[in-house]
Structure 1
Amino acid sequence: MRRLILDHALLAHGWARNVGLDVEGGTIAAVHPDASAKDRERVAGITLPGLPNLHSHTFQRGMAGLAETRGPEGDSFWTWRQVMYRFLGKLTPDDVEAIAAFAMMEMLEGGFTALAEFHYLHHDADGRPYADIAELSGRISAAAGETGMGLTLLPVFYAQGGFGGVAPTEGQRRFINDVESYARLLEGARNAVAGLDDAVVGIAPHSLRAVTPESLRDVVAMAGEGPVHIHIAEQVKEVEDCLAWSGQRPVAWLLDHAPVGERWCLIHATHLDPEEVRCIAASRAVAGLCPITEANLGDGIFKGIDYLAAGGNFGVGSDSNIEISASGELKQFEYSQRLKHRARNVLAGREAQSTGRSLYEKALAGGAQALGRRIGAIAEGHRADLVVLDADHPDLTAVSGDRWLDSYVFVTGRAAIDTVFVAGEPVVRSGRHLNRDTIRGRYTKAMTRILA
């Protein structure tokens, strides 16, 4: 058993001092506020529950910055996607693992302690499956093992190129499976994570444009009790195409044709009408928001005020990994609402409530739900995933309590992070991952070859 004492910690009921934690097998066995420091390992600073990252494509970390040159026509998500297809065509399994490890390392340094990897890069560059159909799932698992990242792996089912059974494009050939091959892929993914402590495998129909109603039904049935994630209503064109195909908007169609509930995470859900806002909230599914990527791609602005007023659950993810920062995703979410509504502190919920704390605690709960794991709280029975802020940082030293979170989210960001624990073990010290040099070296070598 590891016995810690935290100088300051955010517990379920609020801030506490001298918090004793008993950690056994990576899980918090007991919490003792106002504990004695005797025979305990001191954790100096301000300890927060680690934030879950509910949506990422780790391979896209390698293409960050490659799509920021203006093209001959109006740039959009759809032109960005062509850059992505060209990039992924060059990736070997070793590259996938190296980039995933680098992205996970940056996530840990940036305040995320668990990841839902929406993993849709499955096959070789020519579209043929590897001898082990789950080869690249194994590489994601290996990266998680090396970095210490808590993992929910979501193998993606991707079968067509657009609504109504449009054939996949050449750029999508590394993604494609039918229902039978996907079942083998899913079994392989479960085998791949078997050596990781506390890993979860769910399923991820990529989007309504990438599946048929029949295949969606079949793959959802494979989830068991695991999480189900799906991209939905990210782009206006997606909404228009879904209307043309089905006569319904994407979220409305999904809610009418699938058993959407607490195990589901609807990624982006950017373009909603008022009834869809109300119905997602009522379903108790999680809205998976990726505000930095959504801004980078020009997706649009989520209806945050209306959704939270309806009691909706949300979490945040790093998606394309153009910038990896747990606090940055929360800040971007709030700032998007401020710009849209020309107001301030709009997501706090009530008078005198800290915006930073409100965002952080809601994202903890929604992220933990979306990942299907006992995380997101410093509480008995939860994984001991902790982010420790430097109490001596100039932006934190003169404030306390909720002001710590406001400063972390809106001012200091990842520069305030000193130590990160996953399952009670330190993986980041003084803001640096313990294996940073090795992981960075392998990533640099891979990227030098890819971009040559």
Structure 2
Amino acid sequence: MKISAKNILLNTGWQHDITLTIEDGVISDIKPGIDTDAEQYGTVIPGMINCHSHAFQRAFAGFSEQGSEGKDSFWTWRKIMYQFLAQLTDKDAQAIAKQLYIEMVKSGYTRVAEFHYLHHDQNGANYPELATMAKAIFNAAKEAGIGLTLLPVLYQYSGFGAQAPNEGQKRFINSTEQFNQLVSDCFELSKEYENSNVGIAPHSLRAVDKEALSAAVAHLTLLDKNAPIHIHIAEQQQEVNDCIAHYGKRPVQWLLDNMAVDKRWCLIHATHIDQQERQGLASSGAVAGICPTTEANLGDGIYPTTEYMLEGGYLAIGSDSHISVNPIEELRWLEYAQRLDRQKRALLATNKTPSVGQYLWQSAALGGAISTNTNAGELALGKQADLLVLDEQAMSLFAQKPQHLLDSLVFATQNNAIKHVMINGQWVVKDKHHPHEAESREAFSKLLGRVDLSS
């Protein structure tokens, strides 16, 4: 396949009148000029990678916004979420994930890292096949056409000091031995699904201890020494205080001191970090997985992105709870939070890339590729052909020169400006439509009608 673009954002920057040759899902040639035999497009940019997703929470969006006179927090939200997920079957989980992933693809995400911790049946018992719920996620990704990095979650305790899990967490819990078997099973499953890979996600320092964390990482490394490792960390101030009380150190510092944190690791949120932790994270090569809309929705706080990027840190974005499924909104609020915090403008940019929108898009896409250990995140020779074609009619209403295009996309567009989406060399969305969107939407809507949170 060949595609020609009038404007294309390659890893070297904006280029004009370029033809890509795509073979077996990979960009095999890049040549100047418009090839008359190629498919003709206007503006092409790299696809975005979603570094953090809890798919089932897409069906929970809207259920938790009832006020309580300022007494709500992440922890009260979590109680309602447990009540919701207790009702879901494996078929429900697949229907929700399929709807979510179609929405992701249509909005410009071409790969998702699924932080998957809903392992067992509604009573907390093992399925006959440990990976039943994982298989539902694989199937949903296949039907949606999105690339998948599955991250089975190790979850054992309700708090620091090996506190017993509560009733709402019974569907998450595995012994270390059983978890390692689940990971092995997921590796075998991934061989059946194109454009997928597997890592692990120790849930958090409060949900696993050092022994289990070390054993899970060691097992994963035997399966694949480059497989990604994601972990929730320092999302809430209470979590930081509890970690200090238990370990005598802040969470990120404890992780840096006790684990070989490197580019395999993605630290999700890491909101409440001090200067030493921030600099240690930046120099480690690990990725900070920032989820601006969820962190705002839950009242988590603001990550010190400006300083972190100046120190050479890698970042990726995630939609987490899916209160929003839109990479543009995540990037917009990544920058806006910094502006509000510092009362300055255009903070996330460099002299080399003065366009904030371009800097954010390229940084997050590349960081997402690192966080998922995938050959994606930029358009270059030998890279996977994950790309987006912008809607020229929609973009014609804003500044259109290449140096302004991604600023217009990120900060000015309100409606979806992604017209076509290619993933692994295949068109998954054409003219803003996905082939399974109608049937998926109907099934998802019916599922929502069955959910009862009245008790």
TM-score (norm 1): 0.97
Residue 41 of structure 1 corresponds to 39
2:91 equivalent to 1:90: no
For residues 392-411 of structure 1, the aligned pairs below 5 Å read 392-393=393-394, 395-396=396-397, 399-411=400-412
Question: In the alignment, which residue of structure 2 is the partner of 1:278?
Answer: 279
Compute the RMSD of aligned alpha carbons: 1.4
After TM superposition, give the deviation of residue 354 of structure 1 in Å. Answer: 0.7
Q: In the TM superposition, what are the counterparts of 1:90-239 in structure 2 within 5 Å? A: 90-224=87-221, 225-239=226-240
Distance, in Å, in 2 between the alignment partners of 1:413 and 1:309 is 30
Q: How far apart are 1:189 and its partner, in Å?
A: 1.4
| Matched residue type, 2:85 | L
* Aligned-residue offset at 1:402: 2.2
CA contact (8 A) 1:109 1:414 kept: no
Encode CA deviations 1:273-320: one digit per residue, 9 max, x unaligned: 110011000101000000010000000000111111111110101000
Quote the offset at 1:393 in angstroms. Answer: 1.6
- Residue 448 of structure 1 is matched in structure 2 by 449
1:339-358 superposed matches below 5 A: 339-350=340-351, 353-358=354-359
Give the Cα separation in 2 of the matches to 1:141 and 1:247. Answer: 40
**Deviation, structure 1 residue 19:** 1.8
Tell me the distance in 2 between the aligned counterparts of 1:307 and 1:14. 23
- 2:54 maps to 57
Partners of 1:374 and 1:113 lie apart in 2 by 12
**Inter-partner Cα distance in structure 1 for 2:348 and 2:237:** 25
Alpha-carbon separation, structure 1, partners of 2:88 and 2:396: 41
> Residue 271 and residue 398 in structure 1: after superposition, are their counterparts in 2 closer, same or farther (change >3 A)?
closer
Match of 2:389, SS state, is strand
> What's 2:14 paired with?
15
CA distance in structure 1 between the aligned counterparts of 2:394 and 2:69, rounded to whole angstroms: 46
CA contact (8 A) 2:395 2:408 kept: no
Mapped to 2, the partners of 1:46 and 1:414 lie a distance apart of 17
Once the two structures are superposed, residues 344-400 of structure 1 have per-residue CA deviations (whole angstroms, 9 ceiling, x without a partner) of 101113387011011111111111100100001111221111111112225556521
| CA–CA distance in structure 1, aligned partners of residues 306 and 6 of structure 2 | 35
- Structure 2 unpaired stretches of 5+: none
Mapped partners of 2:414, 2:219: distance in 1: 39
Cα distance in 2 for residues equivalent to 1:82 and 1:206: 17
Segments of structure 1 that go 5 or more residues without pairing to the other structure are none
What is the one-letter code of the residue matched to 2:13?
G
**Cross-structure match for 1:265:** 266
8 Å Cα contact 2:99/2:444 also seen in 1: yes
The residue that corresponds to 1:338 in the other structure is 339
Q: 1:428 & 1:336 partners in 2: Cα distance? A: 31
Task: Quote the Cα distance in structure 1 between the aligned partners of 2:437 and 2:443.
Answer: 10
Aligned residue identity for 2:153: V
Report deviation, 1:136: 0.6
Is the Cα contact below 8 Å between 1:395 and 1:412 reproduced in 2?
A: no
Q: Who is 1:382 aligned against?
A: 383
Secondary structure (helix, strand or coil) at the match of 2:322 reads: coil
DSSP 3-state at the match of 1:210:
coil
Quick one: distance in 1 between partners of 2:318 and 2:106?
15
Instruction: Give the distance between the partners of 1:188 and 1:447, measured in 2 at CA.
Output: 31
Aligned counterparts of 1:380 and 1:84: Cα–Cα separation in 2:
44
- TM normalised by structure 2 equals 0.96
Q: Calculate percent identity across the aligned residue pairs.
A: 45
